[in-house]
Amino acid sequence: MAIITPQGPTGGVAVVGQAVAHLMTRGPGALPATGGAPTLQASRPIQLFMLKLSDITGDDFLKNAVSIGWRYLIIGAGPMAVADVKESGSGAPPRFDSLIRGAIAERLEQAADLAASRYGAEPTTLEARILEIPSLYITAFWLHGLREIFIPFLEGAKKDALAVHEDPSFIQRVAQAAALKKRPQ
């Protein structure tokens, strides 16, 4: 059983492959177009969920999380980037949304590795997800199952300097941060 990831959108890997081949040769830190470029691989997609500030009401706010797409970790000689794909609906092929390089890829890989080392042999099934809460500047690796497990990997510059770790108080912390943010100034 252990940690599972849904299959993701049909054609998602091809969409990511085309976009990565094009975008990774552009901008600062571009990979060479020929010779010396590492072989890039995309991980299995991880479903991406989002919560708006108004969705966070009490400690049962996870029911309001909305699927907004799929995230692929792009790996070469280490984590290179993350690529997001959105499903178009009504049978249309998925579309490429974004490619982000740097710390987000490194910290997502660290969170996924931590989850695998701690929960990879669980007797129950846990589904790997990513939860983004833009209004609170929080992104977490989310293991969804009989219990909810969170490994935040982006929380703002100060916390992003700390090692990635599991947060048993994640739900309460998010509810408190949302309540504070909603208060009139």
DSSP lists the bridge partners of residue 134 as: none
Mean pLDDT of 99-127: 91
Q: Which pLDDT score, from 0 to 100, does residue 38 have?
A: 57
Q: What is the DSSP string of 123-184?
A: SSEEEEEEEEEGGGTEEEEEEESSS-EEEEEES-HHHHTSPP---TTHHHHHHHHHHHHHS-
Residues 111, 141 contacting (CB under 8 angstroms): yes
Q: Which pLDDT score, from 0 to 100, does residue 28 have?
A: 61
DSSP lists the bridge partners of residue 100 as: 82
Q: Is the pLDDT of residue 179 over 70?
A: yes
Structure tokens at 105: 């890829």
3-state secondary structure (DSSP) of residue 30? coil
**First CA to last CA across the chain, in angstroms?**
48
User: pLDDT above 70 covers what percent of the chain?
Assistant: 88
3-state secondary structure (DSSP) of residue 51? coil
DSSP lists the bridge partners of residue 143 as: 128, 149
DSSP lists the bridge partners of residue 142 as: 129, 150
> Measured between alpha carbons, how far is 31 from 77 in angstroms, rounded to an integer?
12
pLDDT digits (tens, 9 = 90+) for 55-85: 999 889 999 999 999 999 988 766 678 999 9
DSSP lists the bridge partners of residue 140 as: 131, 152
> Measured between alpha carbons, how far is 20 from 24 in angstroms, rounded to an integer?
5
